[in-house]
A and B are shown apart, each in its own frame.
Chain A
Amino acid sequence: MPHAQGRPASDPTHPAPPAGERVRARLAGFVRALRDNGFATGLSESADALRLLAHPGLTDAATLRSALRALFASRHGDLARFDAVFDAYWFERNLKPAVRMADTRRLPSSAPGLPGANPAGTGSGPPQRVDRSPAAMDTATQGDGRQGGASADAVLTATDFRHLVDPAELARAYALAQRLAGAMRARLTRRHRAAHSGSRLDLRRTLHRSVARGGVPVDLVRRRRRDQPLKLVILLDTSGSMSPYISVFVRFMHGALDSFRQASAFVFHTRLIDVTDALREKDPQRAVDSLGLMAQGMGGGTRIGESLATFNRWHAARTLRGRTALLIVSDGYDTGAPDLLAREMAQVRRRCRRIVWLNPMIGWRDYSPEAAGMKAALPYVDLFAPAHSIESLEALEPYLARL
């Protein structure tokens, strides 16, 4: 049997060709900067990058950028972020407010820059950490080249969720989210069993088993329907008018993500941010902390229509399908155009099974949905329910279980 060729790229027994010590140090710093900015890169990527840097033919910075980007970036949102980190690290330029440098580590001042790149005669290593800043997140979620200016009226301070938290209430919200998930799961199990008893024969597998019985189909294999778990997508309004309710709903989102196999969570104010990964963190407090970091700009105005448009354009195809419930938590006070909101609601309506709009204001006496945004969205909503207290969330349980 011919011998399989090894892959030198990640084979530890074939070390990367020798590169200068300083190049190694600079590269290590770059990889660290990438990791600090949320890139998931491993050792084999570093080894491959070293191979590239040591490649005799790679002389111009543009080619090297393009090559390293193909290696380190792994999704569309990474591309712009990679360029920002690359420029900041190797060229010390493009240091817009978006790319904030804050690190005390300094490399030896003799560390070389990129081959072919001599930015203003400086060879010293710049501080490396680039914040995962709002503008970078912006391009990551929207991808249409909009930079930080989009959130002109956003309050650019990190609101600390911890100070909004009442432990007992949060624990209740968390338990409730798990119970809701449980109610839906129970229903799915029943569906699955019913499908199993009414299933058809799987001929291929039956034949397969019969080989062991000398060709007599003794063991029948049945085909059963795939269970399609219900998906939950939550959009949480974190604008200023919602601030008293945010902490409870964040905990609710965390509980839902923890117990649903498939769930996604987004927060929006003047723009939309995917917080699914942050909330996947097992420890609730750490999840809330990292969300607080990501959701900078909370407490400003709301642009529901635009946020929903972003969702439709970049996330809907991935997160919504037939058996998906979309849960929007917002008071409907929109500073954007109501037409846009109506149009986007119509679009999202087609993609998912149910839209639930939870509005904390309903709990108030004499409330009627007068806000222009709320009025525009209402025709597309399946369930418009109050959400000012844990009790009102509990009232939702039978409805969600029926989806």
Chain B
Amino acid sequence: MIARVDQTPVLVVGLGNPDRGDDAIGAMVAKALAGRLPANVALIARGGDMMALIEDWAGYDALVCVDAAAPLGVPGRIHRIDLTKDELPAEMSFASSHALGLADAVRLARVLQRAPQDIIVYAVEGRCFEHGAPMTAEVSAAAEEVAHRIIAEVGRLQQTTAPGYLN
């Protein structure tokens, strides 16, 4: 018999600077998700400080991040990367303005044994990251699709991640 103890703690983070063109996609998706996730799922938006993010992760078994990726040819294309299986591709260049990028933050958290068991990254290819620039239309148009996928992702994580269940 499987008894449900409580649902797996999941954190959803929209990453990026909302005032730098397509880097705003993380914040835009976070805004689109507000009020649409289960009550026990935390949702935050974060700027450049990835070290603070490591502290944000504490206590969560699963993490879903949305970030903009460097231009790879198709603005708005959505990539899903499961960090339990794959590394963040170097060519996506998840740059942060201060010291650590997302890939570095994940590596550091793992070394410190502070990384959530499951980490899913939704990376949306951007085109323009200029200060004060508007978002590219194709990138902003992807926000709702990413939000939909994350809602499903959160449901899947809460069903499958082990710590919330006892046999």
> Do chains A and B interact in one complex?
no
* Contact surface of B with A, Cβ cutoff 8 Å: none
Q: Which residues of A contact B (CB under 8 A)?
A: none
